[in-house]
Amino acid sequence: MGRICKLMLVITALLCASVVSAGAAVADSSNTVTVHVHSTSKTITPNTVVDCVATVPNPYQIVAGAARPWYTESYVSSCSVPPPDSCSIVVSLDELVNDESGNQSWQNRQEGNQTSVAPCKINLKSMTSGYKCLSTLTDHEFKASVIFSIFWNGQVAVGVKDSNTVTIPCE
């Protein structure tokens, strides 16, 4: 159900972005994604850029130890002045798994709450609940993934970013 909700959020945002193609996202080599919207309205100062940055740290443990749960989060780390009318952020913890044929793919293990606020504010956060490994046979590779959307003056921009991959000992 969580993956379907996330997919619907992306599809809705992309449909809106295709109608008003004024939004963009820039992902860089750090663990941040910048989402911005350019104003094309005649009633608002032309070429106004409204943006926010979301940060997605690597998965982590609050208390170290093999049997302790793993978490991931993402949060809004900065916004322009003026800020967007609203924003939405959701994070997930994904595991690299092998299927029966030996092919690898990322599988969602834990999804954080989708958090929205108007207007968009710094420190808006989405966080997963704790996840404990299902198998204790080997180390597992995990990453955090964030979908971050901003809405401003009837326009939308969406950014997607993954954290670095981390190896988690599941002992």
Contact residues for 162 (Cβ-Cβ < 8 A; gap 6+): 56, 94, 143, 144, 145, 146
Look up the pTM and report it: 0.75
Hey, which residues does 49 pair with through a beta bridge?
Answer: 38
Joined together, the tokens standing for residue 22 give 């004024």
- Domains along the chain? 2-169 (2.60.40)
Which segments of the chain does DSSP mark as H helices, in order?
Answer: 2-19
31 with 39: CB under 8 angstroms?
no
pLDDT of the chain along its 171 residues, tens only?
455 444 444 434 433 333 333 445 454 556 777 876 765 555 556 667 888 999 999 988 777 665 678 889 999 999 998 889 999 999 999 999 888 888 999 999 999 988 888 999 899 999 998 888 776 667 888 999 999 999 988 888 999 999 999 887 766
Residue 66: name the closest of 135, 162, 149, 146 by CA.
Answer: 135
Q: Measure Cα distances from 22 to 70, 93, 156 in Å.
A: 37, 30, 8
- Tell me which amino acid residue 117 is: V
Angstrom distance (rounded) from CA 20 to CA 159: 16
